[in-house]
Structure 1
Amino acid sequence: MTAHPPTSVDTLLDRARAHLDRLAPQDAAAAAEQGAVLIDIRYGALRDRDGLIPGAHIVERNELEWRLDPAGGHRLPEVTGHDLRAVIICNEGYASSLAALSLHQLGLARATDVVGGFQAWRAAGLPVEHPTSVSVPARSIAG
């Protein structure tokens, strides 16, 4: 394995975003109406505190690649091929950029994220649900 020279997370983020066609929250909502799959990678405490985007799939960041790999046995049912339009949403639009680039490396070239993340979605007045119970239980895929 070739070692990479040290860099900063800001540089990694800039490199990731150079490969993404990032979406404003309104554009992400429109993409979902046209068949894109919204993937919420925020951790449970944030979902409990701030709510959920109706129709978005909850996939914890540590399971993202397994759940969106079209060739994998643990994929979401909606993941039927590498042409999937996946829109990744984190809290503020940072981790989602790195996550979307990881999906590009799996061959999901149409994966992207939302500028400003969930907080921008909510600030734009887009739909948010506030569940009455605790966060959706995660299903572990790896021991």
Structure 2
Amino acid sequence: MSSVREQPLGIDELLERVRADYDRIEARAAYDAARDGDALLVDIRYEALRTRDGLIPGALVVERNELEWRLDPQGSHRAPEATGHDLRVVVICNEGYASTLAAASLHRLGLHRATDLVGGFQAWKAAGLPVTS
């Protein structure tokens, strides 16, 4: 068995490559899609950020380390919202970096409509979209 090692990537190049594989979504479009029932917003920020900055009403809060288990439609630990592989998931982190890698992971689970929010929660808040404490 031959083992060929790929050249290591820096995080910026990795993000660029991952983002080339799907269309990311802007805050207003994510808000509209969720309001219209066409997207599940999933907040993966850790608790301290949610406490500090607030929550997006209606978003499913799933810590990043639980994301794949909670959204795998075939998984035994799935959230009730994980209804199928066609579910449109919008992953939201604080600034739109960790969510990119999380969305890519969901793609590998077969959630082909998974995406992430450009600019993350901070872009949502800056757009004047609803936030609760």
**Band of TM-score, shorter chain:** over 0.9
CA distance in 1, matches of 2:4, 2:78: 30
| CA offset digits 1:33-78 (Å, max 9, x no partner) | 1221100000000000000000001100001000110110111101
**Could you list the runs of 4 or more consecutive aligned residues of structure 1 that deviate by over 3 angstroms after TM superposition?**
1-4
User: Which residue does the alignment assign to 1:50?
Assistant: 53
1:9 and 2:11 matched? yes
Q: TM-score, normalised by structure 1?
A: 0.87
Matched, 1:128 2:127: no
Normalised TM-score (structure 2): 0.94
How many positions carry a matched residue from both structures? 130
In structure 2, distance between residues paired with 1:113 and 1:41: 11
- Report what 1:119 is aligned to: 122
Counterparts of 1:98-113 in structure 2 under 5 Å?
A: 98-113=101-116
Q: Percent identity?
A: 68
Q: Report deviation, 1:4.
A: 3.5
Amino acid corresponding to residue 53 of structure 2 in structure 1: D
Aligned to 1:66: 69
SS at 2:84 equivalent: coil
CA drift of 1:2 comes to 6.4
1:81 is paired with a residue whose SS is: coil
The one-letter code matched in structure 2 to 1:85 is R
**Structural RMSD (CA):** 1.2
